[in-house]
Amino acid sequence: MSVLAVRRGGDEERLGAGAIVLGWAMSLMMFKAQSEQTQWKVLLVDGAELPLFLWLALRSARWWPMFAAAFKLLIVGTHMAHALEAAVSGWAYLTAVRIWSYLALFAVSYGAWSAPKAAAGAAPAPVPGATRR
């Protein structure tokens, strides 16, 4: 995925891919194996990625950052739901976080894959005027 972002993606795709790869590496170091409790350190990593993806979504003209930010928000929400409600099983919690993570990864990968097409097909914005001819 990061190779795809480097070879085909633009700056936004590279930044998103770098954030996901860094977050993945940090989460691997902080994840407590064989624990169905709330992963607080992983929540901090995911919570740190969320503002970056929100910023990308707000400044980008493309759609993939909005989906990636939404999936990151779902990840943080899932962490918080498990922390607030003890009835949520650990299996459901970890499965949901994993699914949202893969979907965020897919959104960044799609953005990197479609980046050359988006750059080639982008027409210059028309000059604003009264009639917009």
CA–CA gap between residue 53 and residue 44 (Å, rounded): 15
Tokens 């960044």 sit on residue: 108
In a domain, 132, yes or no: no
In a domain, 47, yes or no: yes
In a domain, 13, yes or no: yes
Whether the CB-CB separation of 92 and 101 falls below 8 Å is answered with: no
In a domain, 106, yes or no: yes
Q: How many CB atoms lie within 10 A of CB 81?
A: 15
In a domain, 67, yes or no: yes
CA–CA gap between residue 47 and residue 77 (Å, rounded): 10
Determine the distance from the C-alpha atom of residue 107 to the mean position of all C-alpha atoms in its chain, rounded to a whole number.
Answer: 7
Provide the domain limits for residue 6.
2-116
| Tens digits of pLDDT across the chain (133 residues) | 677 777 777 888 899 999 999 999 999 898 877 677 888 899 999 999 999 999 999 998 889 999 999 999 999 999 999 999 878 888 898 899 999 999 999 999 999 888 876 666 665 555 665 555 5
pTM to 2 decimal places: 0.82
In a domain, 121, yes or no: no
CA end-to-end span of the chain: 42
Number of residues in the chain? 133
In a domain, 40, yes or no: yes
pLDDT of residue 108: 92
In a domain, 29, yes or no: yes
Tens of pLDDT, residues 52-77: 999 999 998 889 999 999 999 999 99
